[in-house]
Structures are given as C-alpha cells and as structure tokens.
C-alpha cells in the first residue's frame, strides 16, 4: 500500500539519525572495511567487498520494466536498487531499507544532492537524545550519511527520505534503517554520478521475484 504524503512526512521527522542514536543492530565490524580510499579530498574506510555476499555487489543484470531509462526503482522486499538502462538491463545495487514501522513506498524525484553532506539531527530527535550534537560535519567518520546524499522530494515537498552511504556495511541487505535507503559508500558515490537532478524514483514493496541470480549478472568494477 502506498503511503500518503502525510505518512511519508511524519515518518521523515524521525528519519535522519534514528539509527545513529540507537545501538547499531549490525555493528560496523572492522572486517567489513579494508584500507582507505580518497574522495574529493576526504579519506574514508573502503568497503571490504571480499567479506560481502556477492548478491549485494553492484552489477549489471537483465531487467524488464516499463519505466523510462534512467529511472531508479527500489525493491524493498529483496533489498535491491535498480537504475534502468537500455536493452532490458539495469545496474543493481544491494541496499538496506526501512525496518518495520518505517517502510514507505511511492514515487519521488531526486531534487537535491549533496557531496559529503552535513548531518543535522532533527529537533525532535535531540529532545529525546540531548547527548546528540547539533550537527556532524560532512566527511566526519561519525557522519551516518557517508560520502553522498540524494534527497527525495514529492511534488516539490521534501519527503525526509534519502539515498545515502552508511557506517554499517553489514546492514546492507537488511531492514535496518528508519526509512532511508542505505548503500555501500562506494555505491552511493556511483549512484550520485548516474542520477542528475530530476531523476524519477519509484519505491516498491517488491519487484524482483524473477531477478537473475548472481551467475546471470555482470559485476560492475
């Protein structure tokens, strides 16, 4: 069932930072990281994809959709994000999605993007958790948004939801967030480059019952 705009906006009030102030359900084990990488002058821990199940790796897959090329489609049940390409293909990313009570579905557009975004906990969150800082600078190793954030709007109204990186690679493939779509930091950087302002987004409960297995896909380096 598609949430109303009111449902989406109310859910978005607690969105940014909720997973940060709780004890992480999927701790950022050092084994999930290997070395460092540099992006726009910021050094960050690189994901150790050797420790990540290959189904969550970024890859090109066969994909049949009536959506226009360039559309982003999120399958929340199977934890995949697709960018529709030509010739019945798509780039598929593993993602983490909203946990029970924080799921949302519907259409939106990427109407704003930020490189190494600052994270500002909403006032309501800071009331409940006064120990939270007023903000966390972009590029900080404690910033839950990671290297990129893509802001989802509907009819010009901010839904409160985003595509962004994560401090917890182990949460990819799980219902773990407060509604945002989490990605490996490298994937968030890749998606950011592929999605111009105005990119159409559709978030669905499930669409991949017949998605190809990893053996039928091509990993994207």
- Residue 218 within a domain: no
Confirm whether 71 is domain-assigned: yes
Residue 134 pLDDT > 60, yes or no? yes
The sign of the CA dihedral 25, 29, 35, 41 is positive
164 and 183 in contact (C-beta within 8 Å)?
yes
Q: Give how many domains the chain has, as a whole number.
A: 1
For 124, the enclosing helix (H) or strand (E) is helix 123-128
Beta strands in the chain (DSSP E): 33-39, 42-47, 59-62, 72-75, 80-84, 89-98, 106-115, 148-154, 157-164, 175-177, 181-183, 199-204, 218-219
Q: State the distance between the two ends of the chain, measured CA to CA, in whole angstroms.
A: 36
pLDDT tens, 42-101?
999 999 999 999 999 999 999 999 999 999 999 988 999 999 999 999 999 999 986 554
CA quadruple 39, 44, 46, 47: dihedral positive or negative? Answer: negative
| Entry pTM | 0.79
Task: Establish if 141 belongs to a structural domain.
Answer: yes
**215: in domain:** no
> Can you give the pLDDT at residue 206?
57
Q: Is residue 83 part of a domain?
A: yes
**Rounded Cα gap, residues 177 and 97, in angstroms:** 6
- Residues with a catalytic annotation lie at 164, 180
Residue 123 falls inside a structural domain: yes
Domain CATH for 141: 2.40.440.10
What confidence score (pLDDT) does residue 213 get?
A: 41
CB–CB of 93/191 below 8 Å?
yes
Residue 213 placed within a domain: no
Domain span at residue 136? 5-207
pLDDT (tens digit per residue) in 168-218 = 999 999 887 666 899 999 999 999 999 999 999 998 875 444 344 433 444
């Amino acid at each position: 069932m598609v949430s109303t705009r009111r449902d989406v906006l109310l859910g978005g009030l607690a969105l940014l930072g909720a997973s940060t102030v709780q004890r992480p359900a999927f701790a950022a084990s050092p084994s999930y990281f290997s070395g460092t990488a540099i992006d726009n002058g910021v050094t960050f821990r690189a994901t150790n994809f050797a420790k990540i199940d290959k189904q969550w790796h970024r890859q090109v897959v066969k994909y049949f959709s009536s959506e226009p090329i360039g559309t982003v489609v999120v399958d929340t049940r199977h934890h995949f994000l697709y960018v529709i390409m030509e010739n019945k293909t798509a780039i598929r990313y593993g993602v983490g999605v909203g946990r029970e009570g924080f799921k949302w579905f519907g259409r939106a557009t990427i109407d704003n993007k930020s490189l190494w975004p600052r994270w500002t906990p909403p006032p309501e969150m800071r009331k409940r958790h006064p120990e939270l800082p007023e903000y966390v600078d972009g590029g900080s190793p404690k910033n839950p948004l990671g290297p990129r954030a893509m802001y989802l709007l509907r009819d010009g109204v901010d839904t409160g939801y985003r595509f962004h990186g994560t401090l917890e690679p182990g949460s990819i493939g799980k219902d773990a967030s407060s509604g945002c779509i989490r990605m490996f930091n490298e994937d968030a950087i890749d998606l950011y480059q592929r999605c111009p302002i105005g990119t159409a987004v559709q978030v669905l409960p499930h669409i991949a019952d017949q998605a190809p297995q990893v053996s039928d896909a091509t990993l994207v380096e």
